[in-house]
Structure 1
């Protein structure tokens, strides 16, 4: 019997296992699960993709592996689209700032399948939005043509970036929608008794994450009592060998209070740390949205974050956290000290937070906007 489901294909040649539980995997997965598409991601075979077995139901999301026929991924993708565009009902890609890739993929697709729908998720921070707004010359021309004639739906994650793109007339309001990143928690969650943990999750030591600002701030807190700083995520090699080593030499009293857990692939273990922690600290310099912030809010963490990505949007909803200055370890130390000395500020009902986050950042609810626009 012929498969009557419409086909939804997301182009993401660099897919790794961890992408599957981020927007890259969860968006097409939701289109398959909640909206009955035959959903797939087009990628090279880069990893073992354990999350497709452990976290997600492979009935709703498939992986289609590209053949490495050419020297560039653009040509390999185009080769696939030339052969298969007529079978694809919705074609999705990321990153409009990849002008040549987006223009060539969608041009070929629309020429071969004029009735097909196209969607781009911008994944945009301040820098990417600025690039889109200020693009000139040939690339600027191709971007305008793509937006006007080749793309049916474009989404951006935060109100801040949405406003910039509309006000500068970079993308017309009839094509641009705001969709924050969502969360997908695969288990029924129990909130244990909270511990005096300050948690952060991300690629530690990268310029964007500003891990050194958090570490410096923690070393400046005079009355730490029994509080600990827990850091989860892969650690940049140079940061580990140079900064962290020096940090503990200068702060030997913090060896038992600053805990690096490294990269944790087991989602249940990460959820456990979220659920045990009282404060989630996010001193980032740049984020397109910051999924870790939503996960932390879901598990009842008080958010201490810079005004990056969708932080301000999230705080308006949950009203449990505060914005801090970027690159100011003295200010961050002061704010953390006040929270430590005023534990009453860290007592919002976790179940209420879960409900608020789930209502506003549930992938099924978010993807309804995409479904409506492409239909």
Structure 2
């Protein structure tokens, strides 16, 4: 039985899903983390909480990580996140070492200062295998590192049995329900969504329409204030955070899903919505334009353009047959390219090749 040492955040649902899938594939998995335990791991996963928290924990925990590696003798070390946890993985000097780049570690962190960029570059280039969730992010990795290394594409797939169309979940009191599942932060463009919604409502003042926003974030109060300023607060539902196990139920309350992010490395929530046969409207950035084929599996709009978004909403509202067709095409694409089973097989093949 091969031993895998995962170094990463245990409060990330993506890391948790990978780890549990590896255990189900017969791997012996131990997780090293500085984050609080969510108790979502498989019962056979050993979780070791490192003594020091970030930001200094990335330095202070190095002796503890080295000691664990020496006693555990893993077949593979796999770091999730190229900056902090990637640094801990690199500090062990152990090989083989895999780094999975997740998004902000390559799009945002290197821009903060020269030192961050230098550390991230060294972390990535010191690894034996580099993984990216999308082709577009792989190109960004090459740009930041200045190297044309091979990068394995390991998308976060979805459980197509769970994320599927479920009848009778829609609230029949509403003629149209728009929705998103995103954190309420600037990068995810919830303000753009609310402005777009307000324009649509202005055109249809008597329509029983609502906007559901699932997620938490530091901009919650600002966004609530914005909805009040635009006179759509009564038509908006700020749900807050929900467990990942409940996301598919919320998606099935929607008629249209929107992701108007200013920055997005991949877009797991969009794939989950597509798997539920929802027509999606996404901004023309990052991994979103890789996931969605315009006019075939969804609609792509210009960045930060509420007027264009409202026009696309109008189109889908006036053309329900086309909306249904987009949703069916979207699910077909997810089954073909982004099923969880396929994603796990990709990672399993990487492990077997080392």
Whether these two folds match at TM > 0.5 is: yes
Unaligned runs of 5+ residues in structure 2 are 171-175
* Cα deviation, residue 334, structure 1: 1.5
Residues 183-198 of structure 1: pairs in structure 2 closer than 5 A: 183-184=158-159, 187=162, 189=164, 191-193=166-168, 195=170, 196-198=176-178
* Cα deviation, residue 31, structure 1: 2.2
User: Which residue does the alignment assign to 2:69?
Assistant: 85
User: Which residue does the alignment assign to 1:38?
Assistant: 28
| Counterpart among 181, 186, 204 of residue 223 in structure 1 | 204
User: Which residue does the alignment assign to 1:128?
Assistant: 106
Distance across 2 between alignment mates of 1:185 and 1:106: 35
Unaligned runs of 5+ residues in structure 1 are 111-115
| Superposed CA offset, 1:48-91 (max 9, x none) | x2434xxxx433x3322223499821245322322122422111
User: Which residue does the alignment assign to 1:11?
Assistant: 7
Question: CA 1:189–1:226 in structure 2 vs 1: closer, same or farther (change >3 Å)?
Answer: same
Question: CA 1:182–1:342 in structure 2 vs 1: closer, same or farther (change >3 Å)?
Answer: same
Question: CA 1:65–1:165 in structure 2 vs 1: closer, same or farther (change >3 Å)?
Answer: closer
Query: What is the aligned residue count?
Result: 342
Question: CA 1:179–1:151 in structure 2 vs 1: closer, same or farther (change >3 Å)?
Answer: same
8 A contact 1:153–1:370 mirrored in 2:
no
Task: Verify: 1:66 aligned to 2:50, yes or no.
Answer: yes
Distance across 2 between alignment mates of 1:203 and 1:288: 14
8 A contact 1:203–1:209 mirrored in 2:
yes
| Counterpart among 160, 181, 192 of residue 213 in structure 1 | 192
8 A contact 2:178–2:257 mirrored in 1:
yes
Task: Verify: 1:96 aligned to 2:74, yes or no.
Answer: no
Question: CA 1:124–1:246 in structure 2 vs 1: closer, same or farther (change >3 Å)?
Answer: closer
Q: TM-score, normalised by structure 2?
A: 0.82
Q: Secondary structure at the match of 1:370?
A: helix
8 A contact 1:192–1:276 mirrored in 2:
no
Distance across 1 between alignment mates of 2:183 and 2:114: 33
Distance across 2 between alignment mates of 1:90 and 1:301: 39
* Cα deviation, residue 272, structure 1: 1.5
Q: Secondary structure at the match of 2:10?
A: coil
Distance across 2 between alignment mates of 1:70 and 1:209: 25
8 A contact 2:294–2:300 mirrored in 1:
no
User: Which residue does the alignment assign to 2:173?
Assistant: none
* Cα deviation, residue 153, structure 1: 0.7
Distance across 2 between alignment mates of 1:330 and 1:351: 26
Task: Verify: 1:281 aligned to 2:262, yes or no.
Answer: no
Task: Verify: 1:234 aligned to 2:216, yes or no.
Answer: yes
